[in-house]
C-alpha cells in the first residue's frame, strides 16, 4: 500500500501560492460531546475543559497551505455527522464475550510464555550462558508485545468500547492497567481530554508540538539564531529518540511532559501557578492536579491505591526471588510496553503531513483528522488489536470496538477523501523507520510564511535539518 500523505522525498524548499482552500463549519458535534462527568462516561463523550472555539466565518486567505513535505493542504470540509452516517450500524455493536475472550487470550499468552521459559530455559537445558541470556532477552520482547496488547484492551475499556456495561469496562480496565502500573482512572480522564482537543495547541494532552519560539527557548537560543544553525546531528537525534522511548511514559505521568501547559484556565482554578515539570503540581497521581476536578478525587485515590498494591507485590517478588529475576520477569517487559506505547502515540500524532491548529481555527472534526494510520503487520493487527492501523477512526468514534474498526475505517475514508492520512509503505519496517523520520522532520510547528487571517491558524511541522519546506525567516529584531 502507499501513503495518502504523498511524501515528496526530494527536499522541497519552495513556498507556492494558489487559490484559497475552501473550508466549512466542521464543528464539534453533539453526537460526540455531551456535557457530562469524566468519571462516569466513555472517553468519546467526555466534555472539554471549555467550549470548542468557533472558526471565523471568512474563508481562508488566498495562500496555498503546504505541509512539511511541500504537498498542498486543505482544511477538512466534512462534518462529524457525515462520519457517523457513513459507518454501518453493526460496527457500533460491542460484545462483552468477545472482549473477555481477547483479555483471556492475552493473559494466557503472558502466563504460558512465563511458564515455558522458566520451565525449560534453565542452565541444565541450555548450558551456554550467552545463549541463555539471549533467549531471556527474547522473553522480555515477547512479553512486552503481549503486555502491550493487554494495555490496548484496557484502553478499550476506558473508552467504553469493550462492552455495553460500564461496570464491567471499568473493572476489567482497572485490573489490566493497574498490573501494568498505569493509573487507570487518572489516565482515563486525561486521555478523554486528549480526544476532545486533538490537534489543539492549547488544550491537547498528548504530544503537543513546540512552537518555533518554544523550541528556541528550551535550547537557550534566540529566534534569529535558528537560521544560522547547522542541522541537528544524527547522534543528537538518536539521543532524543532513545530518551523519549525510555522515559517518555513515566515522565508524562509524573510531569505531564508533551501535554499542554495552559493550566491557569482550569475551570475550578486549581491550575493557577502550576506548570508541567518536576515540582509544578501537574501529574496523574495528585487529586489536586489541574488535570482533574474535585469530583474526580476518589477515582484518583483508587488509581493510586491500585498502584500501591501492585508495587507492594513487586517488592515482595524482588525480596523473595531476587532483583535480577524481578528485572527479567517484569521490569524489562514493562519497559518494552512503555516503548511501544510511546512509539504508537508519537507516530499517531506526529508526521510531516499533519497540521495543528490555534484555538481560533480548531474544531473537533479538524482535530480528529490531524491523526494518521500506519501499518505494523501481524504485531499491529493481532497482538496490538489494530490500534496502529485504525487510529483515525478511533478519534472520530472511540466507542467502536477494535474488531469492527477495519470495516468502519473503510467507510469513513469515503467521507474524508483527500483529508484522510495514512502511511503504510514498507509495512512493519516502515512503522519503525517512521520513528526516526518523524524525529528528524518534525522539530516544531509554525504557520506558513506570510500567512494571515485564518491561514495563520493552521500550523505545520518544520525543522532545521534541511528537510521539506524551509522554516520562515525570523528578523533579528523579532528575537530578544
Task: With a cut of 90, say whether residue 463 has pLDDT above it.
Answer: yes
Phi, psi of 178 (to 5 degrees): -65, -40
Tell me the pLDDT tens digit for each residue of 260-280.
999 999 999 999 999 999 999
Question: CB–CB of 454/61 below 8 Å?
Answer: yes
Q: Between 129-158 and 96-120, two packed helices, what is the crossing angle to 10 degrees? A: 170
pLDDT band at 3 (very low <50, low <70, confident <90, very high): low
Asked if 354 contacts 370 with a C-beta cutoff of 8 angstroms, the reply is yes
For cell 483471556, what's the residue?
104
Question: What was the pLDDT predicted at 203?
Answer: 96
Distance of CA 203 to the CA centre of its chain: 14
Extents of the domains making up the chain: 81-462
d(CA 317, CA 84): 49
> What confidence category does residue 15 fall into, taking pLDDT thresholds of 50, 70 and 90?
very low
pLDDT higher than 50, residue 225:
yes
Q: Would you place residue 37 in the very low, low, confident or very high pLDDT band (cuts 50, 70, 90)? A: very low
Query: Whole-prediction pTM value?
Result: 0.87
Strand order in the sheet with 458-462: 355-357, 458-462, 444-447
Residue at grid coordinates 471568512: 58
Helices (H), 277-349: 297-321, 323-326, 332-349
Strands 373-374 and 422-423, how do they pair?
parallel
Percent of the chain with pLDDT over 90: 80
Higher pLDDT, 478 or 333: 333
**CA 35, chain centre distance (Å):** 24
364 pLDDT higher than 70? yes
User: What secondary structure letter does DSSP report for 285?
Assistant: S
Q: What is the pLDDT of residue 474?
A: 73
Task: Give the whole-angstrom CA distance, residue 390 versus residue 395.
Answer: 9
Share of the chain above pLDDT 70, in %: 85
Q: Of 327, 396, 328, 423, which is closest to residue 44 (Cα–Cα)?
A: 396
Amino acid at each position: 500500500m502507499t501513503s495518502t500523505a504523498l511524501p515528496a522525498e526530494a527536499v522541497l524548499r519552495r513556498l507556492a501560492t494558489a487559490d484559497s482552500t475552501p473550508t466549512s463549519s466542521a464543528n464539534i458535534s453533539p453526537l460526540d460531546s455531551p456535557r457530562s462527568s469524566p468519571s462516569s462516561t466513555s472517553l468519546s463523550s467526555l466534555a472539554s475543559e471549555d467550549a470548542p472555539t468557533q472558526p471565523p466565518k471568512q474563508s481562508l486567505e488566498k495562500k496555498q497551505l503546504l505541509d512539511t513535505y511541500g504537498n498542498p493542504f486543505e482544511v477538512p470540509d466534512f462534518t462529524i455527522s457525515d462520519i457517523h452516517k457513513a459507518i454501518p450500524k453493526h460496527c457500533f455493536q460491542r460484545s462483552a464475550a468477545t472482549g473477555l475472550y481477547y483479555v483471556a487470550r492475552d493473559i494466557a499468552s503472558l502466563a504460558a510464555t512465563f511458564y515455558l521459559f522458566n520451565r525449560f530455559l534453565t542452565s541444565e537445558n541450555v548450558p551456554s550462558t550467552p545463549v541463555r541470556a539471549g533467549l531471556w532477552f527474547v522473553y522480555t520482547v515477547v512479553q512486552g508485545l503481549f503486555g502491550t496488547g493487554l494495555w490496548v484492551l484496557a484502553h478499550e475499556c476506558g473508552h467504553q468500547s469493550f462492552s455495553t456495561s460500564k461496570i464491567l469496562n471499568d473493572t476489567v480496565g482497572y485490573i489490566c492497567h493497574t498490573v501494568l502500573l498505569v493509573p487507570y482512572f487518572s489516565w482515563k480522564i486525561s486521555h478523554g481530554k486528549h480526544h476532545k482537543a486533538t490537534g489543539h495547541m492549547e488544550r491537547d494532552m498528548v504530544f503537543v508540538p513546540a512552537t518555533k519560539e518554544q523550541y528556541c527557548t528550551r535550547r537557550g537560543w534566540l529566534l534569529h539564531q535558528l537560521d544560522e544553525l547547522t542541522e541537528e546531528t544524527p547522534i543528537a537525534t538518536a539521543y532524543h529518540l532513545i530518551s523519549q522511548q525510555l522515559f517518555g511514559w513515566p515522565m508524562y505521568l509524573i510531569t505531564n511532559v508533551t501535554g499542554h501547559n495552559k493550566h491557569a484556565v482550569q475551570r475550578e482554578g486549581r491550575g493557577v501557578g502550576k506548570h508541567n515539570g518536576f515540582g509544578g503540581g501537574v501529574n496523574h497521581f495528585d487529586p489536586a492536579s489541574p488535570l482533574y476536578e474535585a469530583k474526580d478525587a476518589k477515582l484518583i485515590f483508587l488509581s493510586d491505591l491500585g498502584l500501591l498494591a501492585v508495587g507492594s507485590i513487586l517488592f515482595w517478588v524482588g525480596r523473595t526471588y531476587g532483583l535480577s529475576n524481578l528485572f527479567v520477569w517484569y521490569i524489562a517487559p514493562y519497559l518494552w510496553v512503555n516503548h511501544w506505547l510511546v512509539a504508537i502515540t508519537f507516530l499517531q500524532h506526529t508526521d510531516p503531513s499533519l497540521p495543528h491548529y490555534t484555538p481560533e481555527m480548531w474544531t473537533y472534526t479538524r482535530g480528529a483528522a490531524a491523526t494518521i494510520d500506519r501499518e505494523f503487520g501481524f504485531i499491529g493487527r493481532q497482538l496490538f488489536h489494530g490500534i496502529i492501523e485504525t487510529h483515525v477512526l478511533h478519534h472520530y468514534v472511540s466507542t467502536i470496538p477494535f474488531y469492527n474498526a477495519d470495516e468502519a475505517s473503510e467507510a469513513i475514508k469515503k467521507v474524508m477523501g483527500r483529508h484522510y492520512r495514512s502511511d503504510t509503505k514498507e509495512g512493519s519496517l516502515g512503522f519503525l523507520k517512521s520513528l526516526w523520520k518523524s524525529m528528524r522532520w518534525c522539530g516544531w510547528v509554525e504557520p506558513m510564511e506570510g500567512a494571515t487571517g485564518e491561514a495563520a491558524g493552521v500550523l505545520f511541522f518544520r525543522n532545521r535539518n534541511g528537510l521539506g519546506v524551509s522554516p520562515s525567516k525570523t528578523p533579528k529584531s523579532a528575537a530578544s
